[in-house]
Amino acid sequence: MRKYIIPAICYLLIVVILLNANKITDFLAVTISSNQILTIDPGNAYTKDYDFIYIQNSKDYIPYSYNDLLNILYGIINQGWQEFTFYCPSEYTECINDISNITKDELILTHINNYVHPYNSFDSMKASIAPSGEITVTVKYLYTEEKIKVINEYVDKVINDLYKKDDNDYDNLKRIHDYIVNNTKYDIERNDKKTSPYESFSAYGVVKDGYGTCNGYADLMAIILSKLNFKNFKVATTDEEISYESNGHVWNAVYYDNKWVHLDLTWDDPVSSTGEDFLHHKYFLVTTEEMKQADSGNVNIEEHNFSTSFYPEFS
């Protein structure tokens, strides 16, 4: 009799395991994920330790909603991790579908990327999604250590030369704003032809060659603002807000004088047909209403049209 009982028990165990395979996988996934939380690496020196309305640092890296997934992706790049694995729990039945859609949506990823320190902004992000719910995110960052070193030397010199501890924030930021505008030319070639000998799309191009597009201006200013401990992020024109007359744009948002205001060095450094250099302050620490007023005139500027669903600080 014993020789029949043992195989029968084994058979029943196999049936139970097969019937509950998904539950067991989910349990192991959550268990492993929980253990990872206790052993994950800390963020790098450029990790922002404050949250925003649209996006926050993930607390446990176990997603139970669409917003949790957004926060996890933000947490990964904000920490500066090159690779991170997390798991979808069984309670969140749409997790795999949602993470697949998010990581394929360049618009959403761009806006998430705008909230991190430029040194932690990604050049590319890929997600490997297993049917079991294991998600591995791999990030390639825009700035190399060599480029960061060059930019930091520039930033330290600018702050040492222009930032006066006894002066007010407005005048200090204005001097820095003016210095960057006066020493940078907008890269028309990259804007018009999508090619250029300069890395003007990044702060490195502004620092090394003195040429920048809006991305370069905004990144450099964001690096300086973070160095001076101003809360900040970047704002981008939203795709559905772009008309045929607008190419899209990015600029800075900074928490100044107890409110969020705009700071756009690119439009304060306008391109002239004669090649003459200009320095404006129309977009220096302005409210959204003031920015819209500056945009109106003989030529209506549409590049500052942005969605408050992505940037609710300006709602």
State residue 57's pLDDT score. Answer: 93
Q: Which strand ranges, in their side-by-side order, compose the sheet holding 232-236?
A: 232-236, 250-256, 259-263, 284-286
Q: Please give the residue that has the higher pLDDT: either 37 or 124.
A: 124
Q: Are residues 106 and 130 in the same domain?
A: yes
State residue 19's pLDDT score. Answer: 56
How far apart, in Å, are the Cα atoms of 151 and each of 59, 79, 146, 181? 32, 20, 9, 16
Q: Are residues 215 and 109 in the same domain?
A: no
Confidence of residue 3 (pLDDT cuts 50, 70, 90): low
Here the tokens at position 281 are 């302050």
Which residue among 122, 141, 160 closes a domain? 141
Q: Are residues 95 and 149 in the same domain?
A: no
For 51-74, the pLDDT digits (tens) are 999 999 998 899 999 999 999 999
The model's pTM is 0.86
Q: Please give the residue that has the higher pLDDT: either 78 or 37.
A: 78
For 91-111, the pLDDT digits (tens) are 999 999 999 999 999 999 999
**CB atoms near residue 260 (< 10 Å):** 21
The answer to whether 174 and 187 have CB atoms below 8 angstroms apart is no
Q: Are residues 69 and 99 in the same domain?
A: yes
Confidence of residue 245 (pLDDT cuts 50, 70, 90): very low
For 162-204, the pLDDT digits (tens) are 999 999 999 999 999 999 999 999 998 888 888 899 999 999 9
Q: Beta strand 250-256 with 232-236: parallel, antiparallel or unpaired?
A: antiparallel
Domain with 234, as residue range(s), is 145-314
State residue 6's pLDDT score. Answer: 55
* Domain CATH for 196: 3.10.620
Based on the structure, what is the number of domains in the chain?
2
Which residue among 117, 141, 165 closes a domain? 141
Q: Are residues 156 and 300 in the same domain?
A: yes
